Amino acid sequence: MNKVILLRIGELYLKGKNKGFFEKTLLKNIKKVLMPFDCNVVKISGRYLVRDFDEMDYNQIINKLAKVFGLTSLSLATEFDTSKENIENFLKEFKTNAKTFRVSVKRADKTFPVASNEYERYLGGIVLSANNHLKVKLKDAELELVVDIRENGKTYVLTESIPCACGMPTGTSGRGLVLLSGGIDSPVSAYMMAKRGLELVGLHFHSFPYTSAQAKEKVCKLAKILTDYTMELKLICCPFTEIQEEIHKNCAPEFMITIMRRIMMRIAKIVCDKYYAKAIITGESLAQVASQTIESINVTNDAQSTYPVFRPCIGMDKSEIIEISRKIGTFETSILPYEDCCTVFLPKNPVIKPNLEKVLKEEAKLDIDLLIEKAISKLEIIEI
């Protein structure tokens, strides 16, 4: 008899031609988060099993596994060789404080000699004899005792299912570049796109010395929290000070933010090329601030058209974004009071509905290619 952790996977993506690729990537991700623990992971039909772990590590292990995209739920289970005798002996010893219960038999192994319904009733009788206070309740019982008889000659008995992160295994949708500020929204966007299988690279613009070393550290900390979900996250830091000073010196102040955002997009495009990312991700939400109107977004999008820009927070209220940020553990770090580069040289009256022609006219006052080239030559790469 062994204690094992049974991992369940989404059915949807396992039906297509890519089944092997999804399964291999998911197994790699599971093994990666379990690296600090002494244990083994194996695949059985449609599930994974974690074996040989130290029961002292169980809580830590399930915390890690619950964040692996592609897993839908997990259960601590007792595993033994399938036989009527083994199943019944185990249930004779089963004790619980619950008041109501039911037994559910899943008979994937069709060679097992008793039908599920009939066996549920029989096993229920055994559990009742061992726990005098218990009552059977077929619907909404306090305890559901699942007896899962699999094709691999093993039976698994479990009582609880813990929900996992769902989504697609990280890395199965390719790579995206997330523009990571120190705010609340961009880490949430990173999480949402990683959930759809994107492996992420982060790009952060800093305006040292206008923004502090702590502001950058805060972004590193956010990136570190995100790695629980994204496995790895290379963070690329791009100096933005000179670009901002030049815009401030040469362009009409109301276009400051619009031009900054367009230059961020151009740099993001070059970083995508360099790191083989195929999409840009931002934390924008429609109408949240002046730079997030349809007109502003259109003018920003015009700066590069090579890669799609994913904005998973676009239709969300701030309170909804905050809810996710609390759930994924980035909120407390995001609200630390360090300034973002976007707050440096902030104009009093930024244009809310920028006109592309006017923006282009203002931009023509800058040597943008040279500014971008210089910034790119000073990229700093931080392995989180």
Could you list the residues that contact Mg ion (CB under 5 A)?
A: 181, 183, 340
Q: Which of 64, 204, 216, 269 binds ligand ATP (CB under 6 A)?
A: 204
3-state secondary structure of 78: strand
Token readout for 105 is: 């038999």
Tell which residue, 74, 72, 75, 73, has the closest CA to residue 10: 72
* Binding partner at 61 among Mg ion, ligand ATP, none, C-beta below 5 to 8 Å by kind: none
* One character per residue 294-333, x = contact with ligand ATP (rule: CB under 6 A): ----------------------------------------
* Terminal C-alpha separation, the chain: 40
Q: Does 340 bind ligand ATP (CB under 6 A)?
A: yes
Minimum distance from residue 181 beta carbon to ligand ATP (Å): 3
* Binding partner at 291 among ligand ATP, Mg ion, none, C-beta below 5 to 8 Å by kind: ligand ATP
Q: Does 205 bind ligand ATP (CB under 6 A)?
A: yes
Tell which residue, 222, 231, 235, has the closest CA to residue 68: 231
Minimum distance from residue 369 beta carbon to ligand ATP (Å): 21
* Binding partner at 289 among Mg ion, ligand ATP, none, C-beta below 5 to 8 Å by kind: ligand ATP
Q: Is the Cβ of residue 164 or residue 220 nearer to Mg ion in the bound state?
A: 220
Under rule CB under 6 A, which residues in 260-289 are in contact with ligand ATP?
A: 282-284, 288-289
Q: Is the Cβ of residue 167 or residue 182 nearer to ligand ATP in the bound state?
A: 182
Q: Does 180 bind ligand ATP (CB under 6 A)?
A: yes
CB 125 within 8 A of CB 46: no
Angle between the 84-92 and 116-130 helix axes, to the nearest 10 degrees? 30
Q: Is the Cβ of residue 128 or residue 376 nearer to ligand ATP in the bound state?
A: 376
The backbone torsions φ and ψ at residue 21, rounded to the nearest 5 degrees and listed phi first, read: -65, -45
Minimum distance from residue 342 beta carbon to Mg ion (Å): 5
97 by Cβ neighbours in 10 Å (0-12 / 13-18 / 19+) ranks as exposed
197 by Cβ neighbours in 10 Å (0-12 / 13-18 / 19+) ranks as buried
Q: Is the Cβ of residue 71 or residue 256 nearer to Mg ion in the bound state?
A: 256
Q: What angle do CA 233, 344, 294 make, to 5 degrees?
A: 75
How many chain residues touch ligand ATP (CB under 6 A)?
19
CB 153 within 8 A of CB 162: no
CB 238 within 8 A of CB 205: yes
Element (H, E) at 236: strand 234-239
Q: Which residues bind ligand ATP (CB under 6 A)?
A: 179-181, 183-186, 203-205, 282-284, 288-289, 291, 340-342
